[in-house]
Amino acid sequence: MRKHITDPASGPEEIDLELTLRPRSFSEYVGQEPVKRNLSVSMAAARMRADVLEHILLAGPPGLGKTTLAHLIAREMQANLRATSGPAIERVGDLASILTNLEDQDILFIDEAHRLPRVVEEVLYPAMEERSLDIVLGKGTAARTLKLPLPRFTLIAATTRSGLLSSPLRSRFGQSFRLAFYAEEEIEQILARSASLLSITIDAPARRTIACASRMTPRVANRLLKRLRDLAQVEAGNADAAISQQIAERGLQMLGVDERGLEELDRAVLATIIERFHGGPAGLSGIAAVLNEDEGTIEDVVEPYLLQLGMLERTARGRVATPAAYTHLNLPLPEGQPTLLP
């Protein structure tokens, strides 16, 4: 699978950057105000009761700060964070090992929770509800279940596809939050903070240009900031070069990112629906086949942002390009298609 500059998923090469830029407190965490307010109340109440937090489900597209929130919750609750991911827990024994090594008031963070095998999910039910681990001893009619008590812990699960979680698992979370895309003003604040931490000089127009192209996602904004810093330094011939609006615009053009944050693949998806499927509806498999692209990349990376921009609609019959898509690609609207208001 090809890696795209505006892919909101994190790569292993970005771990150090994300650790450097990760907020250290809720006051430093920009955006997601409703989520922060509700979490702050829950944490304050839990501290007053000397209790652990209810289990928390964080859903939303990648790059919006779910992992950061988990770390901040642990810091605020003065709890140890044990982090893992759905793909890393392949067998019941893997989860049992993690659960039995937890200590009182620990927070267990499972990223990509939708990729947990169903049989592993089922082990979580009593662990979350009764704080016990059911171990089956023996087989057949001689089998018996041994209940092992677990310490008080909070499970924080993060997912980009909450619909893939089973209903029984979803119902066991006391709190469920969906993170929203960021406003451009919030992305500008994040860029200003990141630039300060990385000792990058950038003017306000350049921040605005990057924010508009960031797909409303902090991870993408920080990635673009880093790439444009490289361009500014190389062109100026020194490490103290500033990112101007001119540098930002030229750098985005070199990266193939337009003013709304669309890359070649995004535009190709829209163009394929419009030109090959007459505006839609078009099936995901058909679009992927025409573009020779992975269906998962289109569904997880391309579509969420196009839907947010209002350039794409998903219907029961397939994907449909909206008038906004025609306008962005400078293509004429088909007859009978309503025009966009200015």
Answer yes or no: is 326 a known binding residue. Answer: no
- From the candidates 7, 66, 209, 229, which is the catalytic residue? 66
Residues 194 and 201: beta-carbon distance below 8 Å: no
Q: Which residues, at least 6 apart from 82, have a Cβ–Cβ distance to it below 8 Å?
A: 98, 101, 102, 106, 107, 108, 109
Answer yes or no: is 314 a known binding residue. Answer: yes
- From the candidates 115, 215, 219, 229, which is the catalytic residue? 219
- From the candidates 6, 67, 297, 322, which is the catalytic residue? 67
Answer yes or no: is 219 a known binding residue. Answer: yes
Nearest to 177 by CA among 275, 36, 46, 63: 36
Tell me if residue 94 is catalytic.
no
Query: Distance between CA 330 and CA 210 in Å, rounded?
Result: 22
Q: Which residue has the tokens 């044990």?
A: 82
Answer yes or no: is 24 a known binding residue. Answer: no
Tell me if residue 67 is catalytic.
yes
Tell me if residue 219 is catalytic.
yes
Nearest to 214 by CA among 98, 342, 102, 308: 308
- Let me know the angle formed at the C-alpha of 19 by 257 and 234, rounded to the nearest 5 degrees: 45
Within the chain, where are the H helices? Answer: 15-21, 33-49, 66-76, 92-100, 118-129, 167-170, 184-197, 204-212, 218-236, 245-255, 264-275, 284-291, 295-297, 303-309, 323-328
- From the candidates 6, 154, 159, 160, which is the catalytic residue? 160
Sequential DSSP letters for 259-310: TTS--HHHHHHHHHHHHTSTT--B-HHHHHHHHT--HHHIIIIIHHHHHHHT
The DSSP call for residue 122 is H
Residues 257 and 217: beta-carbon distance below 8 Å: no
Number of other CB atoms surrounding residue 125 within 10 Å:
15
Number of other CB atoms surrounding residue 269 within 10 Å:
28
Query: Distance between CA 244 and CA 258 in Å, rounded?
Result: 17
Tell me if residue 111 is catalytic.
yes
Answer yes or no: is 237 a known binding residue. Answer: no
- From the candidates 7, 106, 111, 266, which is the catalytic residue? 111
Tell me if residue 327 is catalytic.
no
Show which residues are catalytic.
Answer: 66-67, 111, 160, 219
Binding residues for Mg(2+): 67
Binding residues for ATP: 21-22, 63, 66-68, 172, 182, 219
Binding residues for DNA: 314, 319
Binding residues: 21-22, 63, 66-68, 172, 182, 219, 314, 319
